[in-house]
Amino acid sequence: MAKQLNHKVTVGVVMGSDSDWPLMEDTAKTLKEFGIHFEVRVLSAHRTPERAAEYALSARDRGLKVLIAAAGGAAHLAGVIAAHTLLPVIGIPVKGGALDGLDALLSTVQMPAGIPVATVALGRSGAVNAALLAVQILALNDAALADRLAAHKQELCDKVAKGNERVQTELAKLYK
C-alpha cells in the first residue's frame, strides 16, 4: 500500500489490473495538477470481489468523496464499486481485448437503474475526463478548487484561440 502523507485523500482510484496503470497514470497526473489528494488500488471485481466490496463499503468513512474505477474486458469493477457505496462512481472502460474495448464500454455504461456509474470515453481522454469530472464534483463545495477549474477551462479556450490564429495566419499565406 502506498504511503500517504498528512493530506486528506478525497478521491479513490481503482483499477482491475496493474496493466491498467499506464492509462490510469493520466488520471493521477490530472488529479495531482488540481491538488487533489488521492489513493490508488488494484482490485478485481472477479479475482478479489471481497476486497473490492470492502474498499467501496469503507470509502465514505475514510473520507473519500468520489471513486474512479477502470477495467477492461467484462469491466464489472465500476458497477461492483457503485453497488457497495453511496459515493459517486466514475467508470473508465479500458481499451483492449477481443472487442478492442467495446465490451468494457458497454459493461461500464449499461448499469441497471439504481446503480449509476458515470462513464467516460475509452483511452487517455477518458482517463483525463474521469479526473476532471471528479474535480467538478469536488468543486461544488470548494471555491478555491472551482477557481482552479475555471482557470483550466480558460486555458483550454486560450489554446483554441491561439490555434485559430495560427491557422488563420497560415491560410492568409496561401492567398498571398
> For 9, which DSSP code?
-
What pLDDT was estimated at residue 115?
A: 95
Q: What pLDDT was estimated at residue 4?
A: 44
Question: 4: which 3 cell numbers?
Answer: 500517504
Residue 147 has a pLDDT of: 97
| Residue 97: all three cell numbers together | 481485448
Helix 143-174 and helix 123-139, axial crossing angle in degrees, nearest 10: 140
pLDDT by 10s per residue, the chain, length 176: 444 444 799 999 999 999 999 999 999 999 999 999 999 999 999 999 999 999 999 999 999 999 999 998 888 999 999 999 999 999 999 998 889 999 999 999 999 999 999 999 999 999 999 999 999 999 999 999 999 999 999 999 999 999 999 999 999 999 88
* Phi, psi (deg, nearest 5) at residue 129: -65, -30
Name which of 90, 69, 82, 104 is nearest 135 in CA terms: 90
State residue 47's pLDDT score: 93
d(CA 70, CA 59): 17
The one-character DSSP state at 108 is H
pLDDT for the residue numbered 73:
84
Residue 135, SS3 per DSSP: helix
Which pLDDT score, from 0 to 100, does residue 6 have?
47
Residue 125: its pLDDT value, please? Answer: 96
